[in-house]
Amino acid sequence: MNKPTLIYQAPVATRSGYGDHSRDILKSIFKYDKFDVITFPMRWGNTPQNQINPTTEFGSKLISTIGKQVTKVPDVFVQMTVPNEFEKKGKFSIGITAGIESTIAPKEWIDGCNKMDLVIVPTEFSKKILLSTIYDETDKRTKQVVRQHKITTPIEVLHEGDELETYLNPPKDEVDVLEGIDSDNNFLFVGHWLRGDLGHDRKDVGMMIKTFCTVFKGLPKEKQPGLILKTSMAGFSVTDREQIEKKITQITNIFGEKCPPIHLLFGDLTEKQMSSLYHHPKVKTMLSFTKGEGYGRPLCEFSLTGKPIIVPNWSGHVDFLPDRFTELLEGEIKNIHESAADQFLLKEAKWFYVDYSKAAAKLFDVNDKYKNYLSKSKGLRENTKKHFDLESMHSKFADIMKKYVTIPEFVALKLPEIKKL
């Protein structure tokens, strides 16, 4: 008997955060193994579409699901994108999104979520923000509230999953991704350098660099730690690199010869190369001043090294970075600056601003008493391994599907025996 049909529309081929997430979801769908799957790959901005490897078991199976003919409304339609693009195309439609980084979701996201039968997000933070966002519709004449726009569709939390085979231990026979970097003691930042004036871009990269330089400029050169920036802007073009280098130079020039080493690691790295970077003996600590994360995938991947992580105490990543194992930075929630606002990051919304003086003290202390902090952070490895790995994600996905989607059970018809006359 044929299985029910599931259409999956997602950026499965792209080199992007959404691409990584969408491939993990498809692995969960395959693992659940209750559907005849049809995949419709979609673009994700200008990101490369080069992440389907036909030589792997998963890549081969993914390719086999592309291009199948659709002759009827699917039993289940699963779409991964931003919520304003959600569409109901199945008998049961599921919208999956990477979440939100601020305190208010756009109205279009509320309307999009309500088109679906179920919405899935990766963190409790994203669920809370989506459910707490309410828009009042008022009567033009009386100014009285006549209707509220809020999400009525059920929302479930399904964390992203770390691939233990890739990230738990350093890969063998990988090229040294930090060849040429002399410093043996480095902090690492991984993330995009996005729009926004100094101190206002979402990852707060500029002020992170400035704070780092301020803290360690007074140390002798031989004792200064380095800061490795695995970053880019919209892509990996020569122009992007030049713009990043210009931004870094504008900050480091303030400190002159006293500036500690700042290293730019630019360009696309494979998952194994990223794992090699995380586990590299020259990398001691991960650092981020992010103003908000829907999830924070690099932070979760790095947590499997058991090395210290310094990160703000707000938004999605706090789900998997408990304070007993993590150095959570203090700060305050303030309005998004107009230089960083866009159609999804609303000017009336807020996000997290690190207290730079307290962050500076934490940076100095972690570097000065590293062994103490390393001992504390060891628990991160086991916490992620146990609760935020890919197998845990597959198991939770199956539980969600069983809760909401009824799979018809086909019982073989047993005919009576016909006796010979």
Task: List the CATH number of the domain containing 320.
Answer: 3.40.50.2000
The domain tally of the chain equals 2
Both 74 and 121 in one domain: the answer is: yes
**Could you give the count of Cα atoms lying within 13 Å of 271 in the half-sphere of its Cβ?**
18
Both 330 and 343 in one domain: the answer is: yes
The pLDDT score that the predictor gives to residue 71 is 87
Both 169 and 109 in one domain: the answer is: no
Tell me the residue range of the domain where 123 lies.
Answer: 5-161+390-404
CATH number for the domain that contains residue 134: 3.40.50
Whether 119 is in a domain gets the answer: yes
Both 133 and 226 in one domain: the answer is: no
Contacts 24+ apart (CB under 8 A), 406-409: 407/4, 407/34, 408/4
Query: Residues 306-361: pLDDT tens digits?
Result: 999 999 999 999 999 999 999 999 999 999 999 999 988 998 999 999 999 999 99
Both 72 and 182 in one domain: the answer is: no
Is a pLDDT exceeding 80 seen at residue 69?
yes
Both 126 and 239 in one domain: the answer is: no
Both 294 and 171 in one domain: the answer is: yes
Question: How far is it, in rounded angstroms, from Cα 344 to Cα 333?
Answer: 18
Query: Is the distance from CB of 163 to CB of 271 less than 8 angstroms?
Result: yes
The pLDDT score that the predictor gives to residue 180 is 86
Residue 203 in tokens: 């990852």
The pLDDT score that the predictor gives to residue 233 is 84
Both 238 and 373 in one domain: the answer is: yes
Entry pTM: 0.93
Question: How far is it, in rounded angstroms, from Cα 228 to Cα 316?
Answer: 24
Query: Residues 146-200: pLDDT tens digits?
Result: 888 999 999 999 999 999 999 999 988 777 889 889 899 999 999 999 999 999 9
Both 123 and 216 in one domain: the answer is: no
Whether 410 is in a domain gets the answer: no
Q: How buried is residue 117: exposed, middle or buried, by Cβ count under 10 Å (0-12/13-18/19+)?
A: middle
Is a pLDDT exceeding 90 seen at residue 58?
yes
Instruction: Tell me how far apart the terminal alpha carbons of the chain are, to the nearest angstrom.
Output: 33
Kindly indicate the confidence band of residue 2, based on its pLDDT and cuts at 50, 70 and 90: confident
Residue in the structure block whose two tokens are 């996905």: 397
Strand-pair category, 186-190 with 118-121: unpaired
Both 119 and 181 in one domain: the answer is: no
Whether 414 is in a domain gets the answer: no
Residue in the structure block whose two tokens are 């002399």: 182
Both 206 and 321 in one domain: the answer is: yes
Query: Residues 79-95: pLDDT tens digits?
Result: 999 999 999 999 999 99
Look at residues 13, 82, 73, 8 and name the one whose alpha carbon lies nearest to residue 47. 13
Both 272 and 243 in one domain: the answer is: yes
